Amino acid sequence: MKSYLLFSFALLLSCSSVKQGHQSKENEQLLKDLEVLSSDAYEGRKTGTKGAEMARHFISTRLSKLGLKSYNEQVPFIHEFSFNDRQGKKTTGKNVVAYIPGKSESVIVISAHYDHLGVRENKIFNGADDNASGVAALLKFAAHYAKGRNQPNHTLVFAAFDAEEMGLQGAKAFVASPPVPLDKIVLNINMDMIAHNDKSELYACGTFKYPELKPYLVTTVPDIKVLPGHDDPKMGQDDWTNQSDQGAFNAKNIPFIYFGVEDHKDYHKETDEFQHINQVFYSKAADAILEIIGRIDSGTTLQSIFRGKLQMKKQ
């Protein structure tokens, strides 16, 4: 049934305009990438496993084919780090990082974690929404800007973080040893769970602390609502400010927007599978985020509107 709906949706878009037809082709790739990354072959992509290695190879190979640049010349795109897990065991993680040079040295980091929970009691936790959805969107955005005729205003760093499920370790390692000076990073745009919502609601967390970002959070993509929220400290566990990789950037006083959906019945369960995501919503969510990134990048005032808050990073 879902395959029929996807076909109908793609057919509808392809008939509407040349531009929308191009978007439909991009979103076909988006869905294929999510399906591959959340397949049983990747065994849940747990940090330190063969499945995580396969995911890294998939991501880095795509970024290389797209022509993105690497900060690491010795091992292209791979940034290794070590940390102690919750049991105190020393563990190695590996981030995948690439970039597209902009017209300025100001940097926007676009991120999504690629790790998940792995195999538990012989059950594979494939993590389709959490967070193959964010990684597939990251690859879609990288392709968009790699193929674009116009150079972005900001340098765009695409970071697929490892070990988010073990305490945001990949993002923490990134900001502790960044490939660019930390004071050049003007914004983090993080995606974690953007493919499973039955009310067509995509939340954008970050405007409570950075209300300057709210005007950018509008979209012309139909039938989806981008809602600021889940970032008020009074909300307790419903405050998402530090609950995904943007928390590492927030700790360094770097402005952020975190895109995600509310928890659903498949969250952190073996049922978080490709067939359970909402494919139409996911395609629209990715398109909306891409539109917002474009609006932010085209603005010339990010550095100035955050000047006071960005100055705090140097203290």
What average pLDDT does the segment 74-99 reach? 96
* pLDDT value for 215: 94
pLDDT tens digits, 299-314? 765 766 666 555 555 4
In which domain, by residue range, is 265 found? Answer: 2-314
Q: How many structural domains compose the chain?
A: 1
For residue 188, list its beta bridge partners: 109, 256
What average pLDDT does the segment 144-150 reach? 92
Rounded distance, CA 168 to CA 268, Å?
A: 16
The mean predicted confidence, pLDDT, of the chain is 91
Torsion of CA 186, 191, 192, 198, to 10 degrees: 140
Rounded distance, CA 133 to CA 286, Å?
A: 9
CB–CB of 248/174 below 8 Å?
Answer: yes
Return the CATH number at 80: 3.40.630.10
245 Cβ neighbours under 8 A, 6+ residues apart: 111, 112, 113, 161, 164, 168, 170, 171, 188, 190, 192
pLDDT tens digits, 276-305? 999 999 999 999 999 999 999 997 657 666
CB–CB of 265/277 below 8 Å?
Answer: no
Model confidence, pTM: 0.90
Beta strands 201-205 and 256-260, pairing class: antiparallel
* pLDDT value for 142: 98
Task: Please count the other Cβ atoms lying within 10 Å of the Cβ belonging to residue 16.
Answer: 12
* pLDDT value for 18: 31
For residue 120, list its beta bridge partners: 123
pLDDT higher than 70, residue 97: yes
CB–CB of 244/161 below 8 Å?
Answer: no
313 Cβ neighbours under 8 A, 6+ residues apart: 182, 183, 252, 253, 254
pLDDT higher than 70, residue 9: no
* Residue type for position 99: Y
Residue scoring higher pLDDT (86 or 23): 86
Q: Which of 170, 187, 175 is nearest to 102 (CA)?
A: 187
93 Cβ neighbours under 8 A, 6+ residues apart: 47, 48, 80, 81, 82, 83, 115, 162, 163, 166, 169, 170, 173
What average pLDDT does the segment 258-272 reach? 97
